[in-house]
Amino acid sequence: MVYASSSSKRFSDSASETLPLLAYLILASALMLTDHRMNIGQQTRKQLSVVIEPVWWLASLPARMWSGVDDELATRQALQDNNERLVRELQIVNARMQRMSAINVENQRLRDLLNANRNGSLQVQMVSILDVDLNPYRQRIVLDSGSLQGVKIGQAIMDAGGILGQVIEVTGNKATALLVTDADHAIPVQVARSGFRSIAFGTGEPNSLLISDIPQSADIRIGDVLVTSGMGGRFPAGFPVAIVESLKPNDTGLFMVGRAKPAARLDRGLEVLLVNEIIPSPPITKPVIGTPTPIAKPDATAEAGKIKTP
């Protein structure tokens, strides 16, 4: 009986089902188109962050519990080894820092002589990564801090190896970052050795960047370190981005195409650094303070500006 009624109803059913299907398909397509063109998804996620953030938190729970268990089970020996290694690394890094600060002072003096004003200071903030797999076809990570913690869209993120990516979406307590390897990402770079400038594009694969249209005459070799050039103003200059792995002529044979391996450890690190470059706007009037330190300068000029404007 059930059979008979369902089969006799089938034709009318399919007709009455096709119309809603078409409606939903059109609706979904319209949504996709507007999101692709106008990026409404970003705003929607911001509005609905109250719903989305707890879900992300919930999804990251298993991984967090696992790492907690892992910490508990770590042996004393392993911890000691780890500690020893860290102390050693710290000493080496400290020694290097001493030299760097001397070079930094010298560099600043030379820049002053040249009257170059690229003396923006860096503000660094440590944030942890929320262990959530977003779309696996896109290279994105979720950061466990948001606008309430001072994260802003466009901030560069990096780890101990080098530049990791940039923040593209910020909600109250979370932020989404686009990694340099995402197919949508491009970063202005420069060969550290020769100063040759180019742009490194993400490929969508987790450990490969693409540098296209390199002139045959360009001074670039396999093994060269690519650092940020600071052009465009989004990334601070001079941080390692990738190491050139291969160079091949492109289809026309007139240019070369390079592949580079990201310097940052793009697998799940625990914490990353958010970098904020403060570029002091060139003073219009004579600065109030004589020789400001780089860190104090932006605040001082900003305050001076504030006092003068009213």
Partner 1 sequence: MIRQSSTVMRAASLLAGLLFQIIPLPSGLDLARPYLLALFLCYWCLETPEKTGLGTAFIYGLLADLFSSGLLGEQALRLVILVFLVSRFRARLRFFPLWQQALAVLVLLLNDRLIMSLLHWLVNDHALSWVAWLSPVLGMLLWPWLFVAIDMLRLRAREKS
Task: Report the DSSP pairing between strands 186-191 and 175-179.
Answer: unpaired
Q: Which residues contact 117 (CB under 8 A, 6 or more apart)?
A: 111, 280, 282
180 and 200 Cβ atoms separated by less than 8 Å: yes
Write the interaction track for partner 1 spanning residues 61-100; mark x where CB under 8 A is met and - where it is not.
-xx-------------------------------------
Task: Tell me which of 1, 4, 20, 216 binds partner 1, using CB under 8 A.
Answer: 20
> What does the DSSP 8-state code read for residue 195?
-
Taking phi over 0 as left and psi of -120 to 50 as alpha, with beta for the rest, 94 belongs to alpha
Q: How far is the CB of 65 from partner 1 (least distance, A)?
A: 12
Contact between 144 and partner 1 per CB under 8 A: no
DSSP H helices in 74-148 = 76-114
Contact between 14 and partner 1 per CB under 8 A: yes
Q: How far is the CB of 36 from partner 1 (least distance, A)?
A: 6
Residue that has been written with the tokens 């990026």 in this structure: 39
Q: How far is the CB of 43 from partner 1 (least distance, A)?
A: 10
Rounded Cα distance, 47 and 71, in Å: 36
Total number of residues binding partner 1 (CB under 8 A)? 49
Contact between 48 and partner 1 per CB under 8 A: yes
Contact between 281 and partner 1 per CB under 8 A: no
Task: Tell me which of 119, 121, 125, 138 binds partner 1, using CB under 8 A.
Answer: 138
Between 22 and 97, name the residue whose CB sits nearer to partner 1.
22
